[in-house]
Amino acid sequence: MKRILILGGGFGGVYAALHLEKRLRRELDAGLVEVSLINRDNYIVFQPMLPEVISGSIGLVDTITPIRRLCPRTNLYTRTIETIDLDRRRVVAAAGFGSQQLSLEYDHLVIALGNVTSFAGQTGLAEHALPFKYLGDALVLRNHAIHVLEEADIERDPEMRRNLLTFVVAGGGFSGVEAVAELNDFVRAAARSFRHIDPTEIRVVLLHSGKLILPELPPSLAAFAQDLLMKRGVELRLEARLGGATADGALLASGERIPTRTLVSTVPSGPNPLVAALPCKMDRGRLVTTPHLELPEHPDVWAVGDCALIVDARTGEPSPPTAQHATREARCVAENIAARLEGSALRPFAFKALGKMGSLGHRSAVAEVFGVKVSGFLAWWLWRTIYLMKLPGLDRKIRVAVDWTLDLLLPPDIVQLRTDRSIGLRREHYEPGEIICEEGGHGDWLYIVVDGEVEVAKQVPGHGSVPLRRLGPGDCFGEIALLGDHVRTATARSLTAVNLLAVDRDAFQALFSTLPPLRDFVSRLIEERMAPSRAADAAAGSARLMETTSPRG
């Protein structure tokens, strides 16, 4: 029996399984061939419809299709892949409920692992920017947008309110433009249900590094899209590049800071670490393939989709990383594997894209189909029709068609669906001179300095802010507020760029009451700090700069 193993459940992986099931139907039924697929989730995400999850115009789960339904003859392993061993022809996946890893051997391997969102090397983005790639990301963004509207509705400080009501999307390609269009429509429509939000205070900003958004499209369509977005209230910042982020601001490469609590970054993606670790020929993080989609040094190992560099046999150009191409590559790979099994000739990959389309929200879109440019309502109608046809699975087609019909009739949904309230730990980034926590404020977090320097200061009547101590890597602060229902006893401010680890009340109590070295450490810390803090209150003026007394590593 020949075992075909597919890694990844995106368009490349799932369509490879689908075409293999069709092409090798008899062999599968006779037990001569086995097709397996490993993917972290049990569904495929239909990316083009992801932006509509933001506004809720498509039901949460209707943009995704269960892989089991699409490929009923494929063995699906819903696990995380840990290692790929090309020499031993074996793939190991993480343990599930038990403690045993899963080890799968193969005769043919199809690598369709795509790429991953990577904010590495960009200051503060991993901590504070919202990615936009997976279904979970769209759901998080939607809930976050509702959350800031909820808060803005009851916020009395005008500066804070404008901060809450500013939404920034970085990246003017298809994905950024579609996200900003849906976000803008949704926020402006939803705001009508909030009694105290002034719609003129809402600001939606699109950052794009080039002179014209949608570089994939002809300039006339891009210009149309720009005009339309501006007409709908989106602020376009062209030739502006995102440089970093903090909890309450987007930092541009120019040094400018846009105060916001909602920064969506669609730009950065890097190679999947599993692919990057393979001992294969790579080109800018992508696996180099033969024209038949096989790896040159590894016969019977194939690669498709965004993780592969595939040169089109007709044009000699590398294929772009789109769903259209991934599905065609998947068909080609399925045919070539079948040909190899039968001993017949392989065919090289060649495909001319049918067109490109981008939705602009609220019944408008831009499209170039078979070389014809279309924009506005007609393009939107085309967009919906074509994508509905392309959406895998008949039941999903019906559900989305119904969603769209209801969406024309009903107001947008504003329920904030928080499924998980326990956070535990999070990382934060601050630029120099920012306030981390403020005296008298309320705080449920203990902070540990990972790197950088933090100054802790206290208001002393008649003497203003008196610095108490400086903290460096390995030091903690904020512990006093966690020990009872105390307010913050001092203000902490970043002196340099600072990275922090924040531990919430529950995690703090679980860890620090259980682990003796931590318990000792915190009780010593508090003893030391309560004393000088009382002293400072009494001295009331001797503005000493006290070095930290906490133990350093």
Count of chain residues binding a copy of itself (CB under 8 A)? 101
For the bound state, the minimum distance from the C-beta of residue 548 to a copy of itself, rounded and expressed in Å, comes to: 12
Q: Which residues are within 8 A (CB) of 97 and not within 5 positions of it... i.e. 6 or more apart?
A: none
Among 158, 296, 320, 441, binds a copy of itself (CB under 8 A): 441
Tell me: does residue 37 bind a copy of itself (CB under 8 A): no
- Alpha-carbon gap, residue 77 to 98, rounded angstroms: 15
State which residue, 68 or 463, has the beta carbon closest to a copy of itself. 68
- Alpha-carbon gap, residue 71 to 55, rounded angstroms: 30
State which residue, 258 or 287, has the beta carbon closest to a copy of itself. 258
Tell me: does residue 102 bind a copy of itself (CB under 8 A): yes
- Alpha-carbon gap, residue 392 to 540, rounded angstroms: 71
- Alpha-carbon gap, residue 8 to 31, rounded angstroms: 23
Among 3, 86, 118, 160, binds a copy of itself (CB under 8 A): 160
Interface positions, 192-211, toward a copy of itself (CB under 8 A): 193-196
For the bound state, the minimum distance from the C-beta of residue 381 to a copy of itself, rounded and expressed in Å, comes to: 22
Burial string for 444-479 (b: 16+ CB within 10 Å, else e) reads: ebbbbbeebbbbbbbebeeeeebbbbebbeebbbbb
- Alpha-carbon gap, residue 297 to 342, rounded angstroms: 22
Interface positions, 213-242, toward a copy of itself (CB under 8 A): none
Interface positions, 242-271, toward a copy of itself (CB under 8 A): 261
Among 255, 461, 484, 553, binds a copy of itself (CB under 8 A): 553
Report which of 190, 203, 125, 130 is spatially closest to residue 161, judged by C-alpha positions: 203
For the bound state, the minimum distance from the C-beta of residue 99 to a copy of itself, rounded and expressed in Å, comes to: 3
Tell me: does residue 507 bind a copy of itself (CB under 8 A): yes
Tell me: does residue 414 bind a copy of itself (CB under 8 A): yes
Interface positions, 370-409, toward a copy of itself (CB under 8 A): 395, 398-399, 402, 406, 409
- Alpha-carbon gap, residue 441 to 490, rounded angstroms: 9
Interface positions, 68-87, toward a copy of itself (CB under 8 A): 68-69, 72-73, 75-79, 82
Interface positions, 292-351, toward a copy of itself (CB under 8 A): none
State which residue, 236 or 482, has the beta carbon closest to a copy of itself. 482
- For residue 299 the two structure tokens come to 């016969």
Interface positions, 118-157, toward a copy of itself (CB under 8 A): 135-136, 139-140, 146-148, 150-151, 153-155, 157
Among 235, 413, 434, 453, binds a copy of itself (CB under 8 A): 413
- Helix (H) or strand (E) run with residue 139 in it: helix 135-154
Are 241 and 274 in contact, with CB atoms under 8 Å apart?
A: no
Are 205 and 169 in contact, with CB atoms under 8 Å apart?
A: yes
Among 32, 354, 515, 545, binds a copy of itself (CB under 8 A): 515
Stretch that binds a copy of itself, among 271-279, 336-344, 359-367, 412-420 (CB under 8 A): 412-420
Q: In what order do the strands lie in the sheet with 425-430?
A: 425-430, 498-504, 445-451, 476-477
